[in-house]
Every structure is written in structure tokens, then in C-alpha cells.
Amino acid sequence: MESNWTGRRCLPGSGNRQPRPSVGTLHRLAHWPSRSAVSCRDILGSVSNSRGGSMKLRVVTGVQVVLRLAICLAFIGLVQLSLSAQNGPIEHWVGTWATAGVLSPSQAPAQTPAGQAPRPPSFNNQTLRQFVHTSIGGERVRIVLTNTFGTRALAIGGAHVSLRDKGGAIVSGSDRALTFGGAQTTVIPPGAIIVSDAVNLTVPQLGDMAIDLYLPGDTAATPSPLTIHAGARQTNYVSSTGSHLGAPELPGATPIQSWFFLARVEVVAPDRVGAIVTLGDSITDGYNSTPDTNNRWPDHLARRLAAASSSMGVLNLGIDGNRVLMDGAGVSALARLDRDVLVQAGVTHVFVLEGINDLGIAALFKDGPPPTPAELIAGHRQLIARAHARGLKIFAATLLPYEGTVIPGYFTAAGETTRQAFNQWLRTGKEYDGIIDFDAVMRDPAQPTKILPRYDSGDHLHPSDAGYQAMANAFDLALIKEGLREAPAAR
């Protein structure tokens, strides 16, 4: 394709003045080397065949060649400088930590019936200090806050990031104040997220970060659902009254066991670094693992990748009680795929462990008939198609055995039949880019419909710390290494 902005038209005094090129035109010229080549060829001369077969050569003098070539190269250089000044250096952002938000009402009944969730906390002129465990490191960091399920705007009176020391304390000198579009305060509209500006901070691989949020308002005064991740398996803290951003330790700190308003932490990484998102339910979320120890199976996977010198973000998007086809504890996997998975910075791979709650919760709560094998498979095929449409590799795992679970009514013979059929489809269908046979790893050879006792947390449904470690050990790292593609364009 010939460029509309050839070298000849750049010459002053040519008698053919052209309008100033738009930024889009400059961008195309700067990034299409073939167009620059056309321009310089046009400057230096051209050869054409006459109708009779003779050649006619148009030659310019040596001085003209040098002059015109210099002008051409100078123009291209100015284009690139202009773009660099406008856009700044291109940074490749990759997620180092993420979680999936769910809706929590801001107010609960005064008397909470036995067996129901306790009243969710409210915040009033207080500072939250929340800890996250990184999977990869970097020198620049930003965070993403969420008000996805809120029906009213959420005021953020300030936010800081730092490195964790011990307990609820932070490392001296590591505290960094965050801004949002240059402002220290922000408001997150209902249903929205907000991305902070980047700050310089050396974030360690497999380290703990602290994120402080000051909430100046009373979240209970204007009732709106809170966006939380209930099962953090991580002790966080809420302060006494006031802003205590960056304090060595929060005064009057009260422990809480959930993450509030946090969605993602991202770092600048080399272009070849990507991220794998683990989409799942309570087994991916680490239910019954030891709190404050990062013993979820994706945590163990991150440690394996680090030990193998494979720098790759591992992002845990598991939700306790989540299902593929229907909402319940969080929206369904199909409904949240775009928001929780495809949007992650630097994502290159997706790993799915979902479906056991489609069988057990439907039987337990009777909110619809349990899915047939064909229906569950159809849901997974949609996950595959949508990930592939984004150019991502997507893997899955067989569903773990669950007979004997202590949850009354959760296990049924019909559910077990569907689990077996679904697992067989995974093993033989070859529709996912690869599978990990967690069923084979976790089942008791003497009773294949039950979890092996040494991997059982005690409820006969969720693994123990040792079981989560075994799951991560079963993950074939070659699936990631062989499928790693060029990193997506920086966002």
C-alpha cells in the first residue's frame, strides 16, 4: 500500500503543501516500516518500463539524494519522538494477584438466624489494611478497586501500598501513597472499577503486600451492597476511627477475614511474562486450608513456577460455592468470565476447575434440576470458545470425588453419574488445550468415589493442605511453557 505521506511531499517549497498529518497518520507511519521504505524509494528515484520495452531511469544528483534522504529520516524520527512524548514508554502490565468479588449486603437483620451468614461489617471513617500474596515481582505497581455490586458510589478517602512486615505491620520505608488520575481521593461509581496510577515500589515475587484504604463515609448509612471476597483465608485489619494510611501498625486494629473492594494488583513485567487465571469454586479458593499460610493449590502452583524459573502470574479467581451454569455464591462462571478472567492484565492461560457445585448445590437447595452431563459439557464448551476467541490457552481438571461429604444431601448417585461422565469427556474429548486429572490424584484407590484420607480436610469434599499441595504437584508445567505466546499488547 502506498503512503499518502511520501518523502517528496515532505520537501519544503515543493509547491504542493499538504495538511498537517493527524496523530493516527503519524502512528501508522511510525509503525509501518514498508511505508517508510516506499517514501525513501520515492525520494531516491524510480525505474519504469516503457511500452516498447526500453528502460527510462530518473536520477537525482548525489547532493539531492543526501538532502532528501536526510529529510526523510528526520521526519520519521520526529514522528516517533512525537508518539513517545504523547504516550510515554510502553509498559507491559501483568497481574500478580487477583480475587473475585461477590455481593454482600451492607446491612443484615438485627437477629441473624442460626446457620445463616453473620452480619457483614460496615465501615465508618475507618482505615482498612488488607494483605495480598504476590506471584510475580516488579518495580512498578498499581491496584484495581471495585464497586461492582454496589448500588451507590463508594468514596475512597485515600489509598496506600506497602510491603508487609509481621502481623499487621508494614516494612519501614516501603509505604507509597496512591493517586487516581493524579488525585489522592476518588469515588467509584456503582457497578464500576477504578485503576490507580502506578507507583515505583520493588514488589517481591511470592511476597506479601499491604493495601490501605481509608473509607471516610458510613457504609451502613446509605445502604448499598458491598463488593467483597468472603473467604480470604487471610487476616486483615480495620482501624479505629480516622485515616491511618501508611501507619506502621493500625491503631485499634480489629481482625477481619475477608477482602473488601479489592480486585487486582498488577506490576510492570518483561514482555514475555504472562499470567494464568484459575477459575473455580471453593476448592480453588482454598476452603479448609490453614488461614494465613497461602496453602491454596494455586499458591503452590505459583511456588512451583518460581522454583522452575518460570516467571508467570498466578491469579486465583475461585469463589466458594461457585457454579458453571447458575448463580449462587457469586455469579456463575459463564456470567463472570469476561469480568473476572478475560480482563486480567497479561493473561495468556486459563485453568478451569468448576462443576461439582452444579451437581451438589442443585441437589441440596433444589433451585432447579441438577444438570445432565450434556448440559455441563455445553457450559464448558462455552468457556473454551470464549477463551479461544481471545487467543488464550485454556485447560481444565477432572472433578474430585465427593462421596461421604458431611453436607447433607450434597452427594447423590445421579450427581456421581454425571461427574463420571463429565470426567470421561474431559479425558477423551481433547477439546480443552490440556487437562490435569485431579480425580486420579485425589481419589482413594480402594473407594474411588471418595477422597484419599491423607488428602481429605475432614469434610470429604475439600482437600487438606497436603491435598492442595498434591494438586499443584500434578500440574504439568509444560502445558504453560509450551503454550506461552508473545505477550499481549500493553494496556
pLDDT digits (tens, 9 = 90+) for 52-64: 444 444 444 555 5
234 and 359 in a single domain? The answer is no
For the chain, what is the radius of gyration of the CA atoms? 28
How many Å apart are CA 359 and CA 376, to the nearest integer? Answer: 9
265 and 276 in a single domain? The answer is no
Of 34 and 185, more confident: 185
Measure CA of the first residue to CA of the last residue in the chain; give whole Å.
28
Contact 126, 243 (CB under 8 A): no
Residues 6+ apart with CB under 8 A from 366: none
Of 455 and 47, more confident: 455
How many Å apart are CA 491 and CA 489, to the nearest integer? Answer: 6
- Percent of the chain at pLDDT > 90 equals 70
Which residues are paired to 275 by β-bridges?
A: 313, 347
Is 312 part of any domain?
yes
341 and 359 in a single domain? The answer is yes
98 and 77 in a single domain? The answer is no
* Full residue range of the structural domain in which residue 50 is found: 20-87
Burial (0-12, 13-18, 19+ Cβ within 10 Å), 165: middle
240 and 284 in a single domain? The answer is no
Residues 6+ apart with CB under 8 A from 348: 274, 275, 276, 392, 393, 483, 484, 485, 487, 488
User: What is this structure's pTM?
Assistant: 0.80
Is 10 part of any domain?
no
257 and 353 in a single domain? The answer is no
36 and 160 in a single domain? The answer is no
CATH number at residue 102: 2.60.120
Is 14 part of any domain?
no
Boundary (domain end) residue, out of 269, 303, 324? 269
Q: Residue 455 has which C-alpha cell?
A: 488428602
Structural domains in the chain (count):
3
155 and 243 in a single domain? The answer is yes
Q: What is the pLDDT of residues 148-168, one digit of tens each?
A: 999 999 999 999 999 999 999
Mean pLDDT of the chain: 84
65 and 137 in a single domain? The answer is no
User: What are the backbone angles phi and psi of residue 81, rounded to the nearest 5°?
Assistant: -65, -40
Boundary (domain end) residue, out of 217, 238, 269? 269
Boundary (domain end) residue, out of 209, 243, 269? 269
Q: Which residue has the cell 490507580?
A: 196
261 and 275 in a single domain? The answer is no
Contact 462, 283 (CB under 8 A): yes
Contact 267, 140 (CB under 8 A): yes
CATH number at residue 301: 3.40.50.1110
278 and 208 in a single domain? The answer is no
Query: What CA dihedral angle connects 208, 214, 219 and 222, to 10 degrees?
Result: -140
240 and 332 in a single domain? The answer is no
425: number of Cβ within 10 Å:
19
Is 112 part of any domain?
no
